[in-house]
Amino acid sequence: MSYLVLARKWRPQRFSEVIGQRHVVRTLENALKSGRIAHAYVFSGPRGVGKTSIARILAKSLNCEQGPLVDPCGTCRSCQDVQAGTHFDVIEIDGASNNSVNDIRELRTNVKYGPGEARWKVYIIDEVHMLSTSAFNALLKTLEEPPPQTVFIFATTELHKLPLTVLSRCQRFDFKRLTPLEIEESLGRVCASEGVAVEARTLRLIARRADGGMRDAQSMLDQVLSFSDGAVQHEEVVQALGLVGQERLDQLLNALVARDSAAALRLARDLAAAGADLGEFLLQLADSLRSLLLLRLEPESAAAELPEDVLEHLRVLAPAFAESDLIRMLTYLGGQIDAVRRGGHPRLRFELALLRLTRMEQSLELQDLLRGLAGLPAASLESLSPADGQKKKLTPASEARSTPARPATSPANAAPSPAPAAPLPEPVRSPAPPVHPPTSTAAPVRVELDLERVRQLWPQFQQEVEKRFPLLLEGFLQLLPVALSAGRLRLKGELRAGPIRDRLEQARPELEDLLRQLLGTAAGLTLSLEEGVLSESERFLKAQRTHLDAESRFAELRREAPLLEELFQRVEGRLLDG
């Protein structure tokens, strides 16, 4: 008899044997008990998590000679035929190879005839997202009004490719990835039943590499058992799966801590000479960095997820990595793994990735640096935050030559202490409080016109324009106040279309009146519209409507805040997106 692989031999045959999909199993069991059987189901989720297995179990439960039963007997002819894939009324279709409209038309013809031998006719269409648009359209009417005693079960790994018209006619079940612990426990039971001894750390490694798929884990275990001659050795498993031992990962993590690019290059050379899967190594590195981040942010979750020996080692390394730097490293690796695996010149890409990681500068919180320099209150630093709410970080170039563990909350370490501090300069200007247009008919109080006051109120003025003149907003957002002289406010911007400029010119009296109300001045203010590109000196910091890029915002801050400019020069820093 030919060998039956573990993924087929250990496929669940009853709902009670399904692992990790309790929410799906419970719903289907209750539907069987109450007789509320839907005519169409969609099973979506990652590969190898039980979609097709549960579809077959449901077909067996519906057609069991003793049933319908929540747990089919598994011994009657109907159950055995479903299990063998030879049941006359349980039709399994591969959507990838039967995806044309003609295939679906044939299905529509056959579905008109009821079940021949069993109570229910069940169609299981795997990879249903591969059907063509015409095939889906041909299937809609049958899904809307199927013949009695007919059930459609669609399985897919790419739910977003199914038309909404199909989804709306089906009950949808989302299958989840299995946890490493669930996979490890299942593999342990398989090994015990097969009479093979495998170390717990080996099963744990396979479970983590399976990425939530039981079928992948069982296939890897099959490969390991075939590779090993007798007892399964952990080192042989690492070699069989194309992985890299933990000691290699430890070498690279230590190189990252020490900023040792030469050590990283030596490691890359050794891995290439050993024929290691470089993309897989980057994936293992990302997994280790993720564990370090988890250990910093949520130690209890890390303790529950990681084995004790790995946990102890990572606890030693964790203080050497800042949370923000771990996030940056993981973000960078996320784009490099596929590039190394699928792009050309994998070794070159791999070496460049390791060099980039070892030379990645440490990021320091800008607000923390300012507080350390002058003890500014937090409220006075609010205007340093970018308009979109993202944190910006100042990265000193000198930190690239030090270890990540070096405290960086005070810039005193970056340069000799200055002479006794002079009185602090004025704090960075906070946004002016909102000024609402007067609601009474009384004459507004005359206020001296000032360009800076206009700039502070400009976002609010734009909001008022949006409310009262929505058709003007598109062009108005391109204009910024750049000069004020003798009651004449000059607006400048890139008006790329003539009609936009014409509409603004026509509405200029209304805009002037609205701005006078907002500023609290009775008269003496006119607007002039000038088309052109803003120079750097004509830009100004805004918090709402018109966003400057990060570098422009920071350059403006440096000009306006001498304290920030002094800090920038001391640490030789540059601004990074965090």
Helix 278-297 to helix 261-273 angle, to the nearest 10 degrees? 130
In 3-state terms, what secondary structure has residue 543? coil
Q: Residue 571's pLDDT is what?
A: 67
Q: Residue 11's pLDDT is what?
A: 92
The stretch 522-538 carries a mean pLDDT of: 69
Lowest mean pLDDT among 5-14, 304-313, 339-348: 304-313
Q: Residue 553's pLDDT is what?
A: 63
Lowest mean pLDDT among 19-23, 331-335, 469-473: 469-473
Residue 71's φ and ψ, nearest 5 degrees, are -115, 105
Q: Residue 389's pLDDT is what?
A: 42
Q: Which among 62, 76, 171 has a CA at the least distance from the CA of 120?
A: 62
Q: Which among 117, 174, 127 has a CA at the least distance from the CA of 155?
A: 127
Q: Residue 370's pLDDT is what?
A: 59
Res 225 pLDDT > 60 = yes
* Total-model pTM: 0.62
Q: Residue 378's pLDDT is what?
A: 46
One-character DSSP codes across 181-215: HHHHHHHHHHHHHHT----HHHHHHHHHHTTT-HH
- In the chain, the percentage of residues whose pLDDT exceeds 90 is 24
568 vs 248: CA distance, rounded Å:
38
- The 3-class SS string of 414-447 reads CCCCCCCCCCCCCCCCCCCCCCCCCCCCCCCCCC
The stretch 350-374 carries a mean pLDDT of: 73
Answer yes or no: are the C-beta atoms of 311 and 303 closer than 8 Å: yes
In 3-state terms, what secondary structure has residue 33? helix
Q: Residue 399's pLDDT is what?
A: 43
Q: pLDDT tens digits for 477-515?
A: 777 888 888 778 888 877 666 677 777 778 888 888 888
Lowest mean pLDDT among 3-17, 334-348, 545-559: 545-559
Per-residue pLDDT band for 129 (boundaries 50, 70, 90) equals very high
| Position with higher pLDDT, 507 vs 125 | 125
- Looking at every residue in the chain, the average pLDDT score rounds to 78
Lowest mean pLDDT among 206-220, 341-355, 429-443, 541-555: 429-443
Res 568 pLDDT > 80 = no
The stretch 472-478 carries a mean pLDDT of: 72
Res 53 pLDDT > 90 = yes
184 vs 204: CA distance, rounded Å:
6
Q: Residue 383's pLDDT is what?
A: 45
Residue 486's φ and ψ, nearest 5 degrees, are 55, 40
Q: Residue 372's pLDDT is what?
A: 59
Q: Which of 152-166, 218-232, 315-329, 334-348 has the highest mean pLDDT?
A: 152-166
Res 37 pLDDT > 50 = yes
Lowest mean pLDDT among 153-162, 168-177, 189-198: 189-198
Q: pLDDT tens digits for 39-50?
A: 999 999 999 999
550 vs 555: CA distance, rounded Å:
9
463 vs 515: CA distance, rounded Å:
12
The stretch 458-481 carries a mean pLDDT of: 77
Per-residue pLDDT band for 366 (boundaries 50, 70, 90) equals low
Q: Which residues are bridge partners to 42 per DSSP?
A: 154, 172
Res 206 pLDDT > 80 = yes
Residue 99: Cβ within 10 Å count: 20
Q: Which among 467, 475, 469, 503 has a CA at the least distance from the CA of 491?
A: 475
| Position with higher pLDDT, 98 vs 567 | 98
The DSSP output letter for 538 is G
Per-residue pLDDT band for 556 (boundaries 50, 70, 90) equals low
Answer yes or no: are the C-beta atoms of 51 and 127 closer than 8 Å: no
How many alpha carbons lie under 13 Å from residue 242 in its C-beta half-sphere?
A: 13
The stretch 145-161 carries a mean pLDDT of: 92
- In the chain, the percentage of residues whose pLDDT exceeds 70 is 77
Q: Residue 431's pLDDT is what?
A: 46
The stretch 359-382 carries a mean pLDDT of: 58
Q: Residue 374's pLDDT is what?
A: 52
Which residue bears the tokens 């500023």? 519
Per-residue pLDDT band for 426 (boundaries 50, 70, 90) equals very low
Q: Residue 47's pLDDT is what?
A: 92
Q: Which residues are bridge partners to 537 per DSSP?
A: none
User: Which domains are assigned to the chain?
Assistant: 6-174 (3.40.50.300), 180-240 (1.10.8.60), 246-358 (1.20.272.10), 364-413 (no CATH), 451-538 (3.30.300.180)
570 vs 364: CA distance, rounded Å:
14
The stretch 142-156 carries a mean pLDDT of: 91
Give ∠ CA 539-543-547 in degrees, rounded to 5. Answer: 55
Q: What is the CA radius of gyration of the chain?
A: 33
Per-residue pLDDT band for 136 (boundaries 50, 70, 90) equals very high
482 vs 478: CA distance, rounded Å:
12
Q: Residue 423's pLDDT is what?
A: 45
In 3-state terms, what secondary structure has residue 484? strand
428 vs 376: CA distance, rounded Å:
10
Res 404 pLDDT > 50 = no
Res 385 pLDDT > 50 = no
Q: Residue 441's pLDDT is what?
A: 43
Which residue bears the tokens 């290059």? 265
Answer yes or no: are the C-beta atoms of 330 and 293 closer than 8 Å: yes
The DSSP output letter for 46 is S
Res 60 pLDDT > 90 = yes
Lowest mean pLDDT among 11-15, 166-170, 376-380: 376-380
Pairing mode of beta strands 392-396, 364-365: antiparallel
Alpha helices in 278-416 (DSSP H): 278-297, 299-305, 308-317, 323-342, 346-358, 366-374
In 3-state terms, what secondary structure has residue 125? strand
Residue 268: Cβ within 10 Å count: 22
